[in-house]
A and B are shown apart, each in its own frame.
Chain A
Amino acid sequence: MRFTSSRVDALNLRPRRGGLVLASTLVFCVLILSAQAPARGRRGSVLQSWVLTGAAPLASAVSAVSRAVSGALDSTGGIFRARSENDRLKTEMAAKDRELFQLRAELSQSGRDRRLAAAAAVLPNVVGTAPVLLIENRAGLQSALIGAGSLSGVVAGSPIAVSEGLVGRVVTVGRTISRAQLLVDASAAAGARLSRTGETGVVKGDGRGALRLNNIPTTSRVQTGDPVESAGIDGIYPRGVAIGRVASVTRGSSLFLEIRVIPAASFSQLTDVLVLAPSPAVTESPGGARSGTP
């Protein structure tokens, strides 16, 4: 790196001023952070809402380009894969024909089962779908920017999900885009229920892409592979939406089991999410959405 005359001038004049500006900026950041800290977990700040609204056109445009590029990449890859896939499909088709007869009988049975299950479960109200514009994972804090805002009926506290399972909840709402906290965020939590045994606990994100199910006693009959669903006891998430499956169960020294859960939703592959209607507890509370910790 060369020392030009302008650099030497800067070396002589700027350090003290730079230090002062750094100190002022850091103090400013601390003041902003301190001002927000007591209200954490509630509705996002007005400034955040403004910035989200301001960034909406750029975010939407970039998202459209991103989707077009992804589509083009997929198409190109698809051409190269088409020939081998065609051969494979022909072989598979013959096998599928044989399975078809058996499947028809099973389909009839599963249709009846599904109707029963659907009637028994409390179905959450879907407000609409939203594209995922950005997923950020920094130091265990995982969030998503989604392309739907107050104009689409999204409010702070609305749960978001995909067909595989629960994804998280909206925390800040702009006019056309919103920010959501993902369930795998290190500070996110939800009331959860083991579908097989019926025991309830609290599922928490570990910030590394998995979840931990707490408050399940050591007397539980939980097993690896057991499905975990939302319990609807936290006033945020509706009951009966899939969260994941138990990946491992270990007996710690305390009264509770240490249960690791693999999320049902593939968080790294999210492209669109369903926005659900918020729980009545969220809409009735004066502060809007409550903290993720039940």
Chain B
Amino acid sequence: MKWKRVAVLVTAATAVQLLLGGSRYRNIWPIDAFLLATAVVARGGDSVTAVLFGGGTGLLEDALSSDLLGMNAFAKAAIGYVLALLSLRVMFGGVWAVGAALAAASLANDAIVAALASLLLQAPVVLFSKECIWRALATGTTGAILEAARIFPWKDWWEKRRLRRLR
């Protein structure tokens, strides 16, 4: 993956996260933009890039919103590796599979962070709260919509539309 594309993805993910998180409507559609960006990179099947990208975006997320640097970096590096392996080795695809994988990844991210926070901060383990499940659903659905947009035959659709208008 080109570094320019990586930079664009990181900037876009940060912007989306801040745009939604800073809004009064933050709880309506609380997607994990950093996880979506990691999934986009992992989809290429290169586990090295996925791990480094996941670790980097996780570190950025930690700096913006976490007590300890490294909790989200740990989670997202591991998730990036698993998603890259899934993309490479498992014959799966389609809107539903991508959405379900992302929702599961979001839940796994929360579970890893909860475990690390419990170990290092002695924080109570809060798993599968309402907000956590809603974020997983929102992230999965957003991923599924992006996947649907990616696989949609835009060229054919545009050509058919053009011909229909000419008639």
Contact = CB atoms under 8 A, between A and B. Distances in A.
Nearest to B77: A25
Contacts of A131: 22
Given A37-B68, A40-B68, A186-B124, A58 B114 contact: no
Contacts, number: 207
Contact of B64 (A19, A55, A65): A55
Given A134-B64, A140-B117, 8 more contacts: A33-B70, A55-B60, A65-B19, A138-B110, A140-B124, A140-B129, A141-B66, A207-B126
A126 interface: no
Given A137-B131, A171-B67, A29 B48 contact: no
28 contacts: A1-B91, A1-B93, A10-B45, A14-B46, A18-B46, A18-B50, A18-B51, A18-B81, A28-B70, A33-B68, A37-B120, A40-B68, A40-B121, A48-B63, A48-B69, A51-B60, A66-B19, A70-B23, A133-B22, A134-B64, A136-B61, A139-B113, A139-B125, A145-B22, A179-B65, A187-B123, A207-B126, A208-B131
B67 A181 contact: yes
A268 B132 CA distance: 14
Contact of A145 (B27, B64, B130): B64
A47 interface: yes
B146 interface: no
A111 interface: no
A136 B21 contact: yes
Chain A interface helix/strand/loop/mixed: helix
B116 interface: yes
Interface string B73-100: 1100110010011011111110000000
Contacts of A47: 63, 69
Interface string A122-148: 000000000111111111110101000
Nearest to A15: B47
Contact of A139 (B20, B63, B69, B126): B126
Contacts of A15: 47, 85
B6 interface: no
Contacts of A103: none
A269 interface: yes
A45 interface: yes
Contacts of A69: 19, 23
Given A7-B88, A11-B88, A139-B111, A208 B15 contact: no
Interface residues of B, number: 70
A137 B60 CA distance: 16
Contacts of B84: 18
Contacts of B11: 58
Nearest to B106: A138
Nearest to A48: B63
B71 A33 contact: yes
Contact of A135 (B26, B45, B61, B109): B26
A139 B114 CA distance: 5
A17 interface: yes
